[in-house]
Each structure stands twice: as C-alpha cells, then as structure tokens.
Chains A and B, each alone.
Chain A
Amino acid sequence: DAMVIQNPRYQVTQFGKPVTLSCSQTLNHNVMYWYQQKSSQAPKLLFHYYDKDFNNEADTPDNFQSRRPNTSFCFLDIRSPGLGDAAMYLCATSRDRGPVRNEQFFGPGTRLTVL
C-alpha cells in the first residue's frame, strides 16, 4: 500500500564518495520533490520536478543533482558528500502545483551518514 517509497532507509558513505538516493511513487503524481532535513530543523527544499521540468532552488549547492527518468522514479545524487551533508533526505510528491491539488505526500526518508 506504500505510496512514496525511498531506498535505502539508511545510507552510510565516506567523505567525498558519490552516493545516490532513490525515490519511487505509485500515485502517478506530476510533481516530485527532494528535501534535506537536519536534526531538529525544518525540511529544506532542494529541488523539484514538474513532470520532466527540473526546478532547482537558488541556494541548493552544486554538489546536489537529481534525475527523473520517468514519472515513477526520482534520484538524488550527491557528487562529493561532505560531513555537512549528513541529514535526513525526504522525497515528496503532489498531483500538481499551484492553488489546488498540491497536497504533498512524503516518503519515510533516507538517513545519510557521512564518515
């Protein structure tokens, strides 16, 4: 019955070693989002896809990139993880953008540890 699935749930990587986090959805939603959440802080939007249209937030570091090969899947690539990138990464979806149908549904998150 899972609607937004993230894999893996826990990821350990070494400083500077590229890592990819995965998100899939069974809702057939047009929009997919990636957030970073550090301990006791609000989630911070990194970027989102509206269908195939990629929208980067102005303050998202170049170290973070994303791919959406099809409607169901979206990947977060961290090219050279630093200690400051250790966080929970949350994927979310919404049917659409704008005033209606933009309710966001979140996955369980991937906890990234950087050694």
Chain B
Amino acid sequence: KQEVTQIPAALSVPEGENLVLNCSFTDSAIYNLQWFRQDPGKGLTSLLLIQSSQREQTSGRLNASLDKSSGRSTLYIAASQPGDSATYLCAVASETSGSRLTFGEGTQLTVNP
C-alpha cells in the first residue's frame, strides 16, 4: 500500500528565502506525482505534475524534482513571498491504484514579511 510522507509538517521563513519542501513515497511504481497548494478553507490548486519518466518540472518560481528510484520529490520555491503562505500537498498516482491519488498530509508554509 502506497504511503506518502511530507517533511516538515510546518515551516516558517522570512520573505525572500529560497526553500525546499520534501515528499517521500514508499512504492516507486508510480504514474506521476502532483504538487498542490491549499489556502485555508479552500480547495486544492494544482501547481505541477511530474510524469514518472520525468526528472523535473518548472513553473515560474517553482521547481519540482522527482527521483522515482529513491521514492522522493522536492518542491523548490525561489525568492519566497508572503503570498506563498499556504499548505503544500504532494500526491502520487500509483500503478497499482489507477487514477487514485495518495496524498501526504502537507507542509504548512508561512512566509513572514
């Protein structure tokens, strides 16, 4: 059974800092991995999707990497801003679960002005 872990559970940084959020998964037989952002009381916004054949994806100040063999992904946020404050969730679609996503519990990010 796929399990997804995100470390740290919470992170507080000053504005302008570059930061890395971590995601690990136990079953490397994945189709892809998605990173989401969730603001308090809101739905999930898809940030990046990395297919299992890819090593990284970039969107603006965000860069996500995938090391399938070691069961790890990182989300790099450059030059963080207070508007980046949110909970970041990673989710994997495993070969054994079809389109079902297995979510981590998220990293709550606070960027202080």
Contact = CB atoms under 8 A, between A and B. Distances in A.
A114 interface: no
A31 B91 CA distance: 17
Contacts, number: 62
A42 B43 contact: no
Interface string B96-113: 001111011110000000
B93 A102 contact: yes
Nearest to A88: B41
Contacts of B89: 42-43
Nearest to A96: B99
Interface residues of B, number: 26
A82 interface: no
A48 B44 contact: no
A109 B31 contact: no
Nearest to A108: B43
B57 to A, nearest CB: 12
Given A31-B99, A42-B89, A90-B44, A103 B105 contact: no
Interface in B75-90: 89
A88 B49 CA distance: 24
A55 to B, nearest CB: 9
Contact of A102 (B32, B104, B106): B32
A90 B98 contact: no
- On chain A, which size bracket covers the interface? 20 to 34
Interface in A82-106: 88, 90, 92, 94, 96-100, 102-106
B58 interface: no
The 10 closest A-B pairs by CB, nearest first: A97-B99, A42-B103, A106-B44, A108-B43, A109-B43, A102-B99, A99-B31, A106-B43, A42-B105, A103-B49
A100 B32 CA distance: 8
Contacts of A68: none
A6 B34 CA distance: 22
Contacts of B101: 43, 45, 104
